Amino acid sequence: MCGIAGILTKTEINHDLENLVLKMQNAIKHRGPDDLGTYISEDRRVALAHTRLSILDLSPAGHQPMSTPDGRYWITFNGEIYNFSQLRQNLISQGEQFQSQTDTEVILKLYQRMGSNCLEHLRGMFAFAIWDDWEKTCFMARDPLGIKPLYYWSSGSTLVFASELKAILASRLPALNLSPEGLYGYLVYGSVPEPYTLIADIHCLAAGHWLYWQGDRVTKQQYWQINFTPQAISPIEAQEKVRNALVDTIEHHLVSDVPVGIFLSGGIDSTAILALATKVQNKQISTYSIAFEETQWNEGEVAKKVANLFGAKHTEYKVTASIAKQFFPEFLQAIDQPSIDGFNTFFVSQIAHEDGMKVVLSGLGGDEIFGGYKSFEKIPQMLAWGKTLQTIPVLGKNIGKGLSRWGKSPKLKRLGDFLEQPPSSASAYSTFRGIFSHQEACAIMQQYIPHQPLTTYIFPSADTHKADLTIEDEVSLLEITCYMRNQLLRDSDVMSMNWGLELRVPLVDRNLFEAVASIPSNMRLAIGKKLLIQSVPELPEWVVNRPKKGFYVPVDKWISGDLQNHFNNVKVPDNISLTHWYRHWSLMMLQHWLERTYA
């Protein structure tokens, strides 16, 4: 796991490449505390930077940017390829020779042989750029499910890319104009939806896509997408399929030359990972959790009990309001783009880092593919209700207009948004996951970009219109491509890397997804993650039968107490309520980010 950055150009800025790329590298130095490297081509058309967190082949042989022996191809790579050993052996059998034991060199050799088709063979999380110094082209790619981020900005024949938005901003090349789509998406959903960022003309390369730079021309193409393909299968066969896929993904995610720990919340997903990890390796596993003084939020005792059951070495960190206040400025500095999440991952990553850990597994992803959220029940109900109201078209629309304008609660205003539109899973999802309503978001945007009003709704762009998808499949697809990708994965990456920690997500795995995609939604998404529970009988009943809780932090209490000073000066138009903590939090984070970015 590392940080990458680079500048591609023909003539515009090649006189200042060293200075610019070093500024970018410095902005992501926290992502790779073990080594730094840069490469600038002789013709000064490219500058690549890398910051390394050594996980595989800890020797200097893993230094990046890395090149082929002939100096033609140069790579800067962030991520892990879990099947690299098998790929390496295949390449050796075909006559290839290797100078290191790294997955980086495997990617380089594969690309040298098969170009963009190399992506079909890579299992893991990745974002990388490969420069061809003979053809003067650059190939970039992002992993299928969007675990690792890759941002870019292009103008004329210049393209700038990096693992974090802040590195592109450090180059001072893009104009700092706010993106209406990015800002609207943030206000409505609590995170900036890809491919947008908060800065106009800086984009996130979409998950499962590659990009090819040829001077004046940039080509993008999708190479993988999620496909649910239900097939006839018995419940027992479904359980076996899930069990085998889970064991397989956990075995692959434990590949490392350094110890691997686990974030443990005491919920079903992280407990399942610990249970299966204990079976596939003999070493004692280190687990980490955070606890709180506030009893309604505290899951520390459950996590401790789970760790003891499976013989793990457990570390718990009690986060008090005063500790939160102490570290809050550092948390604010760590953010790359604002979000309503991330504070929890910031703290649990800190304790793993302080325990000397470099790699941890997280249970992120289980709710999205096995139906763990309330959205799997609520959104079908909303759709049924919306379609019933549509039989009297004027009634539904007028109720919607009334609620969106005069609804007394934020939830009623967002419900009004839903009723004003033709009912769809995307509009229902927007209402269910929403932070601010459409009208509220537009009013807040006027404070920041008054001359660029948005008048139309922007709904999630997940491909939910396929005729063979059930409503539950559509919800799963939306949760995977929106909430998981834009918020959970992005915050997990930024906050873990802030502490020089690699966070792996075995439940967000291409092979696992392809295996379970054939299981019909009535089995795969049975309420309460029934299929997952049946596939891991090692789960204790007292974990399975607990009411579902998220991995939350008691921010609502802290906002009115120890953290109050950070929230006093939040700008908000009249008549917009901040009674819910996440609305107040989202505007505070935005305001801080803007002050830092425009300082």
Q: How many CB atoms lie within 10 A of CB 555?
A: 17
Contact by Cβ (8 Å): 457, 438: yes
Say how far residue 65 (Cα) sits from the centre of its chain: 24
- Taking every pair of C-alpha atoms in the chain, what is the biggest distance, in angstroms? 71
Contact by Cβ (8 Å): 365, 529: no
Which residues are within 8 A (CB) of 555 and not within 5 positions of it... i.e. 6 or more apart?
A: 343, 563, 581, 585
Contact by Cβ (8 Å): 419, 397: yes
The CA distances from residue 595 to 333, 446, 449, 481, 495, in Å, are 11, 17, 15, 29, 20
CA neighbor of 591 nearest in space, from 560, 569, 559, 561:
569
How large is the angle between the packed helices 438-448 and 180-189, nearest 10 degrees?
Answer: 130
DSSP element (H, E) containing 361? strand 359-361
- Is residue 2 flagged as an active site residue? yes
Backbone angles phi, psi at 158, to 5 degrees: -110, 135
What one-character DSSP code corresponds to residue 562?
T
Structure tokens at 329: 């400025």
Contact by Cβ (8 Å): 378, 527: no
DSSP-assigned states of every residue in 313-333: EEEEEEE-HHHHHHHHHHHHH
- Which of these is catalytic: 2, 118, 138, 482? 2
Task: State whether residue 388 is helix, strand or coil.
Answer: helix
Q: How many CB atoms lie within 10 A of CB 229?
A: 10
What one-character DSSP code corresponds to residue 70?
T
Contact by Cβ (8 Å): 531, 524: yes
DSSP-assigned states of every residue in 524-538: HT-TTTHHHHHH-TT
Structure tokens at 455: 């008048």
- The letter for the amino acid at 532 is L
Which residues are within 8 A (CB) of 387 and not within 5 positions of it... i.e. 6 or more apart?
A: 423
**HEC-encoded secondary structure of 74-89:** EEEEEEEECCHHHHHH
- Which residues are 141's β-sheet partners? 128, 210
CA neighbor of 499 nearest in space, from 368, 316, 360:
360
Backbone angles phi, psi at 173, to 5 degrees: -85, -45
The Cα 99–Cα 69 span in angstroms is: 9
Q: CB-side exposure of 203: number of CA atoms within 13 Å?
A: 12
| Beta-strand runs (E) in 109-216 | 124-132, 137-142, 151-155, 158-162, 202-204, 209-214
Q: Supply the residues annotated as catalytic.
A: 2
